[in-house]
Amino acid sequence: MAKGVHRSSRALGAALAFAALAAAATACSAGTEPAGGPPAPAAGQQAQGQGAAGALNAYVEKVREQRAARVLAAKKWGLARPPLEAPAPPAVKPRITTRKGFETDGEGLPPVFTTVPTKQKVVFLTIDDGAEKDPALLRMMNDLRIPYSAFLSDYVVKDDYAYFARMQKSQPGGIALNNHTLNHRYLPGLSYSEQKREICGMQDVIEKRFGKRPPLFRPPYGNYNEDTLRAAKSCGVKAVPLWASEAFPDHMEWREWDRDLHPGDIVLTHFRGKEDWKGTMPDMIRRVMNVITAKGYAVAKLEDYV
């Protein structure tokens, strides 16, 4: 897998290096030119130098403003510290394979995984079903610029498709709306044709309502069999992300033995509120982000890696 390069850091480094070289060249020439000083640069050269300096200043100012906004947003929403900024995604997406022990006998089926192979200290936040439609969640995630992926079930989203349309456009990079079946049924207990209706039917709903057929699918309860994967593949699913940990407003639950985060881990949570949880969705985001940030991780966008 090609390593991801932090484009903004690279751009800043290049600009600073350019400025340093320019300053060094000016200093050297100052000691060797006649007393009258070096000849004035041509008009085009002068404009070019001013343009580079202006671009650098504008970039630095933009980064400063973004960081200041994130600090203010963290205070507004009660986070212990601002979320860490994710590095740029890899130029080439990593090769995803099925996690050992999660295989079926079928070949060429969408991979089932809980962690994306990467060395970057990033994790991925995913939210399932769509039952709770809290406007505060959209405001909070936009203020904090936290990317996430939604896995939707039609039986709980169909009463308010507009909420998820707003979600989809709530951040500059967009929020991906993925497949979690029509009715959230236990898929291994269904026939192939019934599973296909649940999965492919939701593909159709998302395409019709939100304009894009999603490549990612998560089976309800994380349960599947070979028919599930065959049905998913038949209607355009490319990968089946499960999860390595799960977030609640008052605690975290862990799949791995060390009860910790790892580079590339997928974090699950749900669209739930006080009727189901000991808190709201913003409470849950506050909890999970405090854990993620304290462990030195940033949240990246799953679809940039898969």
The Cβ-side half-sphere exposure at 269, using a 13 Å CA radius, reads: 27
Q: Which residue has the tokens 């404009």?
A: 47
Backbone angles phi, psi at 34, to 5 degrees: -60, 165
Q: Which residue has the tokens 């079946």?
A: 181
Dig out the tokens for 109 from the structure.
């089926």
Res 39: pLDDT: 54
- Pairing between strand 149-152 and 176-179? parallel
Res 27: pLDDT: 38
The rounded average pLDDT for each run of 10 residues, N- to C-terminus, in the chain (306 residues) is 40 40 38 44 58 79 83 96 96 97 96 98 98 98 97 98 98 96 98 98 98 98 98 98 97 96 98 94 97 98 98
10 Å CB burial of residue 75 (0-12, 13-18, 19+) is exposed
- Strand-pairing partners, residue 207, are none
Res 16: pLDDT: 38
Res 41: pLDDT: 53
CA distances from 196 to 222, 283, 303 (A): 16, 36, 23
CA distances from 107 to 98, 104, 110, 147 (A): 11, 8, 9, 32
**Is-above-0.85 flag for pTM?**
no
Res 61: pLDDT: 79
CA distances from 39 to 9, 33, 36 (A): 35, 9, 9
Selection from 84, 31, 79 nearest residue 296 by Cα:
84
The SS3 call for residue 14 is helix
What count of other Cβ atoms lies within 10 Å of the Cβ of residue 302? 23
10 Å CB burial of residue 279 (0-12, 13-18, 19+) is middle
Alpha carbons 279 and 263: distance in angstroms, whole number: 28
What is the DSSP secondary structure assignment for residue 98, as one 8-state letter? P
Q: Which residue has the tokens 């939210």?
A: 127
10 Å CB burial of residue 47 (0-12, 13-18, 19+) is exposed
Alpha carbons 144 and 73: distance in angstroms, whole number: 6
Res 60: pLDDT: 78
Res 229: pLDDT: 98
